[in-house]
Copies of this chain bind each other. A is one copy, B any other.
Amino acid sequence: MAVTTIEWRNDSVRMIDQRLLPGREVFRVFHDYQGVARAISEMIIRGAPAIGVAAAMGVALGLKGTHSARAERRFAVVAHKLKSTRPTAVNLSWALARMERVLRASLDLPARALFERLRDEALAIQREDVAANRALGRFGMQLLSDPSVVLTHCNAGALATAGYGTALGIVRAAREAGKKVRVVADETRPFFQGSRLTAWELRKDRIPVTVIADNMAGLLLSRHGADCVIVGADRVAANGDVANKIGTYPLAVLAQRHGIPFYVAAPLSSIDFTCPNGDGIPIEERAAEELVMVGGRRVAPAGVKAFNFAFDITPADLVTAIITERGVIRPPLDRGLVALKRVLEGPAAAAQGAATGATFSAPAANASAGSYLR
């Protein structure tokens, strides 16, 4: 995709304003971490991996000019602000933890060098995210028949990541491999990530896409209108429960009823090994206004109550496979995730620099990587 979701430019962070797509391509530039925090909470940038990158860049901005003696206290303030923006996606905490490890290992550096170190780490997170998506895409595309129709929800594409995408990365990889893959995109109320963002970026790449309302997936699947469902993830718990955009769980229930695979595309940065199951994942509730105001007009009568939960939990038993940049995890997911964790913590991973958080970097995918995860 020609447009970059987020970029570091001259000690500032530049993002495309995702609230205005597809109508207008407007870029916002932020010079301080408060601006980045606002961009995340107002959904100028969204998508779990993308907000992880944004948070890392926010830390670098926030620590700029800070002497190492005050750096840890300053980090606490900056990280608290960035973390409080959105609770569900674990990538945010993951990126902050990684930045903190780098900070702690760099406290002997002068202010400018410390800043550059943090900036470089943020850029590494960004680079690695794209590489992870490409690796994840290569694993995932092997699961798609040719031709096939993929039903997806929300936007787990280039716009939700540093580039290429997770769920849509699988579609891109399949197309690159010559498979005829078409996409059906749920519009995804209330923010319309599907009709606005997924449709926009797929059209840019000339990948066929058809938009439906979220409530049309039942009819679609009952009429054999899709071969599989692929979604992204905001957080995968240790047992394989998946938090993702509101409306994901009903799709998983429908996929099971109609006997089609339900795949979750999740880079390692979305997996929370410390969270035993979905009950432990906080579900963000956003302002009711976002639901009842549509295109500047109020659709519900004034004063009517509304719930606006932004995520739901898909229990592990409905997930056919979790696709990561290290391989495909099949049920029982809890055991597959334990195996993955063991590999990540193993001597090879350690040699790659586990101490600085690079455990979660994405080595080039290889044929054997997928096998140990069944």
The answer to whether B209 and A283 touch across the interface, beta carbons within 8 angstroms, is no
Interface string of A285-306 (1 = CB under 8 A from B): 0000001101111111101111
* A49 is an interface residue with CB less than 8 A from chain B: no
The answer to whether B291 and A211 touch across the interface, beta carbons within 8 angstroms, is yes
Q: Which residues of B contact A305 (CB under 8 A)?
A: 208-211
- Whether A309 contacts B219 in the complex (CB less than 8 A), given A187-B291, A200-B301, A250-B250, comes out as yes
How many copies of this protein are present in the complex?
A: 2
Partner of A250, one of B188, B218, B291: B218
- Whether A294 contacts B292 in the complex (CB less than 8 A), given A199-B300, A247-B213, A250-B215, comes out as no
Q: Interface segment, A77-85, A157-165, A189-197?
A: A189-197
Partner of A213, one of B189, B253, B303: B189
- Whether A187 contacts B189 in the complex (CB less than 8 A), given A195-B292, A216-B309, A222-B313, comes out as yes
Complexed CA–CA distance, A211 and B292 (Å)? 8
- Whether A304 contacts B222 in the complex (CB less than 8 A), given A196-B299, A215-B246, A295-B297, comes out as no
- Whether A219 contacts B249 in the complex (CB less than 8 A), given A211-B291, A213-B214, A305-B211, comes out as yes
Which of A297, A300, A305 counts the most chain B CB atoms within 10 A?
A: A300
Name A318's closest neighbour in chain B (CB-CB).
B257
The answer to whether B214 and A214 touch across the interface, beta carbons within 8 angstroms, is yes
Complexed CA–CA distance, A283 and B309 (Å)? 31
> Within the complex, what minimum Cβ distance (angstroms) separates A17 from chain B?
15
The answer to whether B304 and A209 touch across the interface, beta carbons within 8 angstroms, is yes
The answer to whether B196 and A300 touch across the interface, beta carbons within 8 angstroms, is yes
Complexed CA–CA distance, A77 and B335 (Å)? 68
Q: Which residues of B contact A257 (CB under 8 A)?
A: 253
For chain A, give the interface size range.
35 or more
Q: Which residues of B contact A216 (CB under 8 A)?
A: 246-247, 307-309, 312
Name A296's closest neighbour in chain B (CB-CB).
B295
Q: Which residues of B contact A211 (CB under 8 A)?
A: 291-292, 300, 304-307
Complexed CA–CA distance, A215 and B154 (Å)? 11
> Within the complex, what minimum Cβ distance (angstroms) separates A251 from chain B?
9
- Whether A312 contacts B214 in the complex (CB less than 8 A), given A23-B298, A300-B22, comes out as no
The answer to whether B189 and A189 touch across the interface, beta carbons within 8 angstroms, is yes
Complexed CA–CA distance, A306 and B192 (Å)? 14
Partner of A297, one of B23, B189, B200, B249: B23
Complexed CA–CA distance, A23 and B292 (Å)? 12
* A203 is an interface residue with CB less than 8 A from chain B: yes
* A365 is an interface residue with CB less than 8 A from chain B: no
Partner of A249, one of B200, B222, B246, B311: B222
* A254 is an interface residue with CB less than 8 A from chain B: yes
* A220 is an interface residue with CB less than 8 A from chain B: yes
Complexed CA–CA distance, A308 and B190 (Å)? 18
Q: Which residues of B contact A215 (CB under 8 A)?
A: 186, 188-189, 214-215, 246-247, 250
Q: Which residues of B contact A294 (CB under 8 A)?
A: 192, 294-295
Complexed CA–CA distance, A304 and B200 (Å)? 8
* A102 is an interface residue with CB less than 8 A from chain B: no
Q: What are 7 pairs between A and B in contact, CB < 8 Å?
A: A195-B300, A200-B301, A213-B246, A214-B215, A214-B247, A219-B313, A295-B299
Across the A-B interface, give the 3 residue pairs with the lowest CB-CB distance, nearest first.
A295-B295, A215-B247, A218-B250
A-to-B contact residues, CB < 8 Å:
22-23, 184, 186-190, 192, 195-196, 199-200, 203, 208-220, 222, 246-247, 249-250, 253-254, 257, 283, 291-292, 294-301, 303-309, 311-313
